[in-house]
Amino acid sequence: MQAEQEIVDRLCEEFPFLKGRVHVQRQKRIFTGHLVKEEFEQVIRYLHNNMGFYKANHVVGTDEGENLGFIYLLSNKEGIMLALKEIAPKSDPKINSMTCIYPSLERHERELVDLFGAEVQGLPEGPSYPLPDGWPKGNYPLRKEWKPEYFDKNTMTYNPPDAGNDKGKR
């Protein structure tokens, strides 16, 4: 696990704010803690431009309660996977698209928009994905507060008991 530790050491040297926030989980696996937008963008660009993490494999969204988490899974030619995590408050879930350096992430970032309500700034125009046409705006089925039992598939409306006059618009 020498190569993995060298990556961690180099990142911590370049970005002192990563000390204690990045670690080798096991062979070929490196994880960071959640980074705010500015930290995340510095690190992801550095990984791509200076450390050979040219491949983006996936983006995973998570509901962290008051925040949304975004885990970008990157890899290098040695097959080392690095899970770079970003966090944004649900009240202002803005992140920047990384399709400018990893074009393969376009569909993954669209999932973050549809399923979690992330505002991915700079994401190229395109269709919703993966939710069907007619899905009610403002409904994010992978957020913890969204309950499937209140969704009516026939009418494509979301009807929680507390919706009152806002029926289907939550």
pTM of the model: 0.91
By the 8 A CB rule, do 66 and 89 touch?
Answer: yes
Check residue 111 and give its pLDDT.
97
Angle, alpha carbons 20-23-24 (nearest 5°)? 160
Closest alpha carbon to 116 in 66, 157, 68, 160: 68
Give the model's confidence band at 10: pLDDT under 50 very low, under 70 low, under 90 confident, else very high: very high
Q: Exposed, middle or buried: residue 46 (CB in 10 Å: 0-12, 13-18, 19+)?
A: middle
* Percentage with pLDDT > 90 across the chain: 88
Q: Are 141 and 115 in contact (CB under 8 A)?
A: yes
How far, in Å, CA of 54 to CA of 81, rounded?
11
Cβ neighbours around 11 below 10 Å, total: 22
Domains (ranges, CATH) in the chain?
2-130 (3.30.460.80), 132-170 (no CATH)
Residues ≥6 apart with Cβ < 8 Å to 100: 122
For residue 128, what pLDDT band results from cuts at 50, 70 and 90?
confident
pLDDT, tens digit, 9 for 90 and up, residues 41-72: 999 999 999 999 999 999 999 999 999 999 99
pLDDT in tens, 91-105: 999 999 999 999 999
pLDDT at 162: 75
pLDDT-derived band at 17 (thresholds 50, 70, 90) equals very high
